[in-house]
Structure 1
């Protein structure tokens, strides 16, 4: 079930990259992040309120860890995703977000003492090869002359922040229920986004709340936030952050297919080769022996 939860979460998040890329000219990035998390928080808090009230003392006792999880996983990560979309495309965003498993494996070894087997390193290497195959379109010349756009660097930073969040979720105190933890992180992470979005209105281009923007906000607020975060946190509790993070290598594949279907971006045989490598690497890295 942990593997299934991780795969479903990654599938939903792939759509988030498409929205970030497809609506880059329709709504400012911080505003999009604020609307996303405000929607998720307003919908989820009525369901989490009872658990949060019951676990209030535990929430207060671990407030520093909760604030850090909220800032890394809610406030900063998704905002950086939308900022990244200004200077890079959906597939590249997913590719650089897929560097997260490397960060997670290293951080899990340092802070959680998770064992890194030779098989896991081999699977990690093969999955990275698949990611690079897609990124370079199978050309060694592209790899040699690979240049980074500003959005790529921003996504790299976002990937590290998501790794930190994943480690914090695994360290969630047993005295805090899952609903209380999500409700607290959603609320704490949304609060700083609201004034930031209001400030953004002063210098951002004018935008309008069209039906398409409403649909995008509902998708990222309900599915990419509520459903995907619940699935991701459940996956981490079942199989650990290291195994769950490996499924993020599928994001370039899912985002590539979505970009082809919805945005008209091409998908080639190279993407198929990359998928085979990524799939094989994840299977190897998540096998017990």
Structure 2
């Protein structure tokens, strides 16, 4: 295995580690702050911090940014404006099991689109590893209860979660097709800025239909985490991973999110880790290892 491939794996692993904290925050603050408002605060924070550092590069690459404006606007809309907003909306309108079930389709969407548009090969080992990782994720979500899986009740939030997964797959393909004439910082700065702008008026409209919410130290800390960590740092790492190992391989690491979320909930919220969690962890690790192994 080459050093660059190892680096790609590490970048993807670090990104999903940060995102696991984002899911804890999304579930913990789902009733405290409206979903579009949370998404707007997240991306405005990320843009205000990152764009000033990327601005010189964006000016240098301005012609290339303009030449590829539709592809960049597509990445901003799918990966920034809509994806996380739909996840937050889904968290308000469905339960954790359904989110995990439909969230497990996201890497499947990425693998399929990568095969169609980037000609990434779907080997038998990758298909088998993907199936095993999905089983591990469902084991954790259902706490090992087949009865829970058989008696799922589907809600409107499930549609939003499914759509979010498909949009994330589109974003991953667009990132891989980033022109070499645009630097990584310029690309991130442009997508952050373009993605955050539509969320501002949407959040202002949302305030008219939701009960007032208070700005507390906990909410400020949550916004800083999702803005700096889950947006700025994680997206930089994730985009780097996609450029090195491809979107299909990087997407498999998203199955580690429930693993790290469970560990984080154990240390931060005191929630127990059971044998069922251990079985799910083993299946996910085994599935991703199988799907990403060298030919």
TM-score by length of 2: 0.93
Q: Output one character per residue of 1:107-145: Cα deviation in whole Å (capped at 9) or x when no partner.
A: 000000111111111111111111122223222232222
Q: How does 1:270-285 map to 2 (within 5 A)?
A: 270-285=276-291
Q: In 2 relative to 1, CA 113–159 (structure 1 residues): closer, same or farther, beyond 3 Å? A: same
Partner SS for 1:206: coil
Alpha-carbon distance in structure 2 between the residues aligned to 1:91 and 1:223: 25
Q: In 2 relative to 1, CA 156–264 (structure 1 residues): closer, same or farther, beyond 3 Å? A: farther
Match of 1:109 in 2: 115
Q: How does 1:1-289 map to 2 (within 5 A)?
A: 1-89=7-95, 93-94=99-100, 96-263=102-269, 265-289=271-295
Partner SS for 2:246: helix
Q: Post-superposition shift, 1:259?
A: 3.1
**Structure 1: 5+ residue runs without aligned partners?**
none
Alpha-carbon distance in structure 1 between the residues aligned to 2:41 and 2:231: 11
Alpha-carbon distance in structure 2 between the residues aligned to 1:10 and 1:251: 6
Alpha-carbon distance in structure 2 between the residues aligned to 1:107 and 1:69: 15
Partner SS for 2:12: helix
Alpha-carbon distance in structure 1 between the residues aligned to 2:267 and 2:192: 32
Q: Post-superposition shift, 1:234?
A: 0.3
Partner SS for 1:147: coil
Partner SS for 1:85: helix
Q: Post-superposition shift, 1:24?
A: 1.3
**Structure 2: 5+ residue runs without aligned partners?**
1-6
Q: Alpha carbon RMSD of aligned pairs, Å?
A: 1.6
